[in-house]
Structures are given as structure tokens and as C-alpha cells.
């Protein structure tokens, strides 16, 4: 993305009866100034046609109405007031207008119902909170509902699952706009992983770190990140943690929710992204740099996690960067 003196505009919809959590996620990622990142950051707008009451008794008085929502580069619907009722017709019309003028349209959680009502999900793969997936499928049969992922990126339309998955989706948008380095920096400031494993295809498959109160596991993970090019067997990792292999596997799964092998693969793929984005190194060189034995192995695991090849990822990322 070409960055000028004004950052890309992001508009998030506020609505009556909403929880502030989803809007807070959007505000945290896109609204806080981040001069240390060296890019012109987003210009965030909170939008609503009128003051809205939120859960807990507060009242929001957004500075922008639906006109400001429609005019943004990216528009985000963090939910709908009632999944069993039709969304506000004015919001539906605003979504159609924004999409027609080329905006990127995003939903979090039940916000997918608003996008579906606007016809923006017809013939597309989309997701929502698992609790609402069957209802979305019944009400909008032309939508290919996938309840097993954290988010779906379909280019100009993106949908996220439950509330917390909105954070994964927002970080993914930052990665799309500014690259892996900036997205990883934002994720670190939020104290989250840049990617989480949502069960099926995400931008990358990398499990969320759970309880790392066990310093032995954390120490072995830190060591592994410093030795990605080494042969990282369970035996070697267990030795770093001063555990038996059986004990290490059990503690690692408890702390991270995954196995050491899957975690190492995810870290190697993640480490390869900036190289694909910012260097002219060959796929073979990148594979070796991040610790894969062969380019064939690297391509296999990359494609399985990313649902695209390393070369296609590089082309797509660089094409986005010229916009």
C-alpha cells in the first residue's frame, strides 16, 4: 500500500445495544498512534447516525455519521443489534455504497449478518461466531459459511469469527497493508501472537501461546527461536527444558495448545514472510535460512498453512504494495 501524508481511513460502526469490546479492538489496533513503526498510521473514525447506548449504560456520541462511514477506505461492522432481525436499512445501504466505491468491507462476529443482508457475501466464503453459523447459513443460503476458522479474507470483503477473533483479523489487515514486520510489532505491543490456529486455513497456522508460566517451556521456546536453522527435535527441546521427552510433550501441549513440531513449523513459516516480502532471495535460499531441509518441504508446509505457495504469496504481497 502506498502511504502518503494521510494514512488509510478506517471507519467502525457503533450501534445501539452494542458491547464496547469489538469496537475497542478496532480502536486499539487502528486508532492508537504508532510513530515508532515508521509508517503513516490509520485515520480511525467511529461512526453512527445518532448517539448509541452501549452495554453497561454508557452512551457514545460518535463524531461521524454514516456519510463518514461510507467514505472510508476500510469499513468495519463489529456486530448487529439482533441476529434474528433485519439490520438497519440505512446501514445496509451504506455498506453497499461503500463496497461499490471500492472500500474494503469487514465484519467481526455477528457483523456478518449485516454484510450478508447487503448481498456482499453472496457466493463467497465467510465466517461468523460458531453460535450463529447455522442461523447465518439458513437466513442467507447463498453464503458459504465456514464456522471453523478465525477469519476469512476474500479480498475486498473480510469476515471474522467471535469477538476475540476480531483481534486476529485486525492484525491480519495490518499485515496486508504494511507487511509482516509492522504487524508483528503491533501484535507484540498487544501481547498476542501475530497468528492463531483456528482449525483450518488462516493466513498462517500458528497456535496461540497459552499459559507460559512454566519457565522451562518458555526457555526452550526462546532457545528454539534463536536456533531455527538447527535440527529442532523433541529430544533437543526437552533437553533445553531439562525434562524427559514424555514430560516435555505433556507440558508443551498444556502451555501452548499444540505440539512442539507444529509450533516449530509455524515459527519457521512466520520467519519466512519478511524474507518473501522484502528480499529477492530465492525460495531455496529462504527455505534454508528459516530451517527447512529442502525447498520442497518448505513449499509443502507453507502451502498447507497459507493455502498459497511461497512464490504466489510473494507476487500477491508485492502487487498489493504497489497500490
pLDDT in tens, 234-282: 999 999 999 999 999 998 888 877 899 999 998 999 899 889 988 999 9
Predicted confidence at residue 193, as pLDDT, reads: 62
- Taking the C-alpha atoms of residue 130 and residue 199, their distance in angstroms, rounded to an integer, is 12
Kind and range of the H or E element at 77? strand 74-77
Residue 166 in contact with residue 112, Cβ under 8 Å?
Answer: no
- Dig out the grid coordinates for 126 from the structure: 465467510
pLDDT tier, 187 (very low <50, low <70, confident <90, very high otherwise): confident
| Dihedral, 159, 163, 166, 168 alpha carbons, nearest 10 | -120
Residue 309 in contact with residue 303, Cβ under 8 Å?
Answer: yes
Residue 212 in contact with residue 255, Cβ under 8 Å?
Answer: yes
Predicted confidence at residue 196, as pLDDT, reads: 59
Residue 171 in contact with residue 192, Cβ under 8 Å?
Answer: yes
pLDDT tier, 212 (very low <50, low <70, confident <90, very high otherwise): very low
Q: Is the pLDDT of residue 322 over 70?
A: no
Q: How far is CA 153 from the centre of its chain?
A: 9
- Mean pLDDT (the chain) is 86
Residue 67 in contact with residue 97, Cβ under 8 Å?
Answer: no
Q: Is the pLDDT of residue 204 over 50?
A: no
Residue 193 in contact with residue 187, Cβ under 8 Å?
Answer: yes
Residue 17 in contact with residue 78, Cβ under 8 Å?
Answer: no
Whether the model clears a pTM of 0.85, i.e. scores above it, the answer is no
- Dig out the grid coordinates for 284 from the structure: 531455496
Between 270 and 210, the more confident residue is 270
Per-residue pLDDT of 87-145, as tens digits, reads: 999 999 999 999 999 999 999 999 999 999 999 999 999 999 988 999 999 999 999 99
Per-residue pLDDT of 133-178, as tens digits, reads: 999 999 999 999 998 888 999 989 999 988 888 888 999 999 889 9
Predicted confidence at residue 223, as pLDDT, reads: 93
Amino acid at each position: 500500500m502506498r502511504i502518503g501524508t494521510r494514512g488509510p481511513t478506517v471507519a467502525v460502526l457503533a450501534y445501539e445495544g452494542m458491547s464496547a469490546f469489538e469496537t475497542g479492538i478496532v480502536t486499539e489496533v487502528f486508532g492508537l498512534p504508532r510513530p515508532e513503526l515508521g509508517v503513516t498510521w490509520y485515520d480511525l473514525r467511529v461512526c453512527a447516525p445518532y448517539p448509541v447506548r452501549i452495554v453497561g449504560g454508557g452512551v457514545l456520541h460518535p463524531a461521524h455519521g454514516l456519510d463518514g462511514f461510507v467514505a472510508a477506505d476500510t469499513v468495519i461492522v463489529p456486530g448487529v443489534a439482533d441476529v434474528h432481525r433485519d439490520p438497519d436499512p440505512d446501514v445496509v445501504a451504506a455498506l453497499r455504497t461503500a463496497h461499490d466505491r471500492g472500500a474494503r468491507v469487514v465484519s467481526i462476529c455477528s457483523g456478518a449478518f449485516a454484510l450478508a443482508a447487503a448481498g456482499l457475501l453472496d457466493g463467497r466464503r465467510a465466517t461468523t461466531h460458531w453460535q450463529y453459523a447455522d442461523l447465518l447459513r439458513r437466513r442467507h443460503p447463498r453464503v458459504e459459511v465456514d464456522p471453523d476458522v478465525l477469519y476469512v479474507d476474500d479480498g475486498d470483503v473480510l469476515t471474522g469469527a467471535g469477538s476475540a477473533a476480531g483481534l486476529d483479523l485486525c492484525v491480519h489487515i495490518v499485515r496486508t497493508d504494511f507487511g509482516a514486520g509492522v504487524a508483528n510489532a503491533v501484535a507484540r505491543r498487544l501481547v498476542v501472537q501475530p497468528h492463531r490456529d483456528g482449525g483450518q486455513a488462516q493466513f498462517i497456522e500458528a497456535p496461540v501461546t497459552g499459559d507460559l508460566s512454566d519457565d522451562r517451556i518458555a526457555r526452550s521456546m526462546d532457545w528454539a527461536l534463536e536456533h531455527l536453522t538447527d535440527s529442532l527435535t523433541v529430544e533437543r527441546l526437552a533437553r533445553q527444558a531439562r525434562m524427559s521427552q514424555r514430560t516435555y510433550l505433556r507440558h508443551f501441549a498444556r502451555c501452548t495448545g499444540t505440539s512442539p513440531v507444529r509450533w516449530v513449523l509455524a515459527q519457521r513459516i512466520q520467519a519466512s514472510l519478511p524474507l518473501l516480502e522484502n528480499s529477492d532471495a530465492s525460495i531455496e535460499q529462504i527455505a534454508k535460512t528459516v530451517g527447512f531441509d529442502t525447498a520442497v518441504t518448505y513449499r509443502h508446509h507453507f502451502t498447507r498453512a497459507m493455502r498459497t505457495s511461497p512464490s504466489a504469496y510473494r507476487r500477491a504481497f508485492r502487487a498489493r504494495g504497489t497500490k
